[in-house]
Amino acid sequence: MATISSPGIGSGLDVSSIITQLMAIERQPIKQLETAETKLQSQISEMGKIKSALSKFRDLSTRLGATDFWRQSTGSSTSTAVGVTTGSGAMPGSYSVEVQGLASAQSISTGVFASSTTALNAGTLRIEMGTWNAGKTLLAPNATLPAVDITIEATDTLASVRDKINAAGGGVTASILNDAGGARLLMRSTSTGEANGFRTTVTGGGALDGLAYDPSAGINSPNPVQDAANAAATINGVPVSSATNSMANVLDGVSLNLTAETVSPVIVSVVNDTAAMKKTMEEFATAYSDLARQIAADTRYDAASKKAGLLQGDSAITGLQSRLRSMIGATSGASTAFPRLSDAGFELQQDGTLKVNSSRLDNALANLPQLRLMFANSSTTDPTMDGFAKRFRTVAGDALGTDGVLTTRTDGLNERLTRNQKNQDRLEERLVQTQKRLERQYTQLDTQLGTLNGLSSFVTQQVAQWSKSS
């Protein structure tokens, strides 16, 4: 049978309160570990913020050190007839473009049927893709689009034939044109260009004959609406051709989009995209400033509140801070025009942040070859000839690497946190045993005091009786 225990009943002592207070004293070491745990977690969080800020700064340094970054360009055109986009490898220059013809897809139209529900007789419709010669006496097959045969049932209507053509995937799509005269079946090659011409032949006769188109055999019953053709243009007088109106990389890194024929030359200009470069360089300065502010906040001491930053005195952080600051003010032999960052408008402020002097940077962008050297030059023999972007990328990469100071410091904090948590677990187990021991001891004490209290009451009663009898 289970026993019912109520400590303190026998002795009158507040045993539960006593044990609670004693356990509070025993728990002090755990509270100290909990305080240390909170601090470690906060330090790890702040290390994460610094690593994130440094990673962003490293990525921007990498961009500034890349060759393609300094090849950024933008294009413009004097007419909407010729659109221009630029990519890697585009060289600054000016080009005269004339468009003689746009790329087109072949399109044919059948004769008029009563409606789209008009039934056609059974047979086969064959579609062959290819390139027509000048007189349309020969169709050279398209090697990538083999001929397809479409079976037409006696129950098929003009609409169902349209659906079968579209489902065949033969390089031709179909639609129905309805007007006051009736319904026509329009067939059009899915892609533009000379290689996407086509002919249609039928077997079965009757109404199916209205779908046949083969000029090489003298069959022209569907009215040709448009022939397949390549886009034709000249660039600086040189003829160019394209199966589509989008001429990708027709010049190194330059693509043209033709929208209309021209009656006079269109001037296409390609220039260095200094606006995009400047934006990235401003982002670089902002990333450095954000990193500097984060490090300052974590390492400063506030005399007014007498509180230290969570990472104050951390050698890994202060060492990185010192190294970055010294590099900002360092010189490089990479560029004769801009030996220091400040020469190009990057000015270090008293609070450790980096500010961009916009007008000075604009002047530096006017001398793009030297500005590129200042950031992106690389030397395998003389580190003093390395550009600033390479230097910063190296320092940041080293700090963030597997064996870098920030990585090892974070690993160390995590190890301390793990040990702290294990120590708390061990102490918690010990406290459970301590509480059981105290409860056992005070239960015994309560029992003994209860016995003594009972004996005391008995003696008192006996003394009182003796006093009365005497």
Q: What average pLDDT does range 113-136 have in this prediction? A: 92
Task: Look up the pTM and report it.
Answer: 0.73
Residue type for 442, please?
Answer: Y
Find out whether 82 and 246 touch, Cβ atoms under 8 Å.
no
Give the Cα separation of 84 and 82 in Å (integer). 7
Q: Residues 70-95: what's their mean pLDDT?
A: 93
Q: Which residue has the higher pLDDT, 4 or 121?
A: 121
Least confident stretch, 13-17, 98-102, 371-375? 13-17
- Give the alpha-carbon dihedral of 15, 16, 21, 25, to 10 degrees: 100
With residues binned 3-state (H G I as helix, E B as strand, rest as coil), the percentages for the chain, rounded to 5, are 45, 25, 30
Question: Residue 279: pLDDT above 90?
Answer: yes
Please, what sign has the CA dihedral across residues 402, 407, 412, 413? Answer: negative
Q: What is the pLDDT of residue 86?
A: 94
Whole-number Å distance between alpha carbons of 81 and 103: 13
* pLDDT per position as a tens digit, 127-177: 999 999 998 999 999 999 999 999 999 999 999 999 999 999 999 999 999
Question: Tell me, what's the pLDDT at 11?
Answer: 55
How many other C-beta atoms can be found within 10 angstroms of the C-beta atom of residue 25? 8
To the nearest whole percent, how much of the chain has pLDDT over 90? 67
Residues 6+ apart with CB under 8 A from 322: none
Q: How many whole angstroms separate alpha carbon 459 and alpha carbon 298?
A: 73
pLDDT greater at residue 450 or residue 310:
310
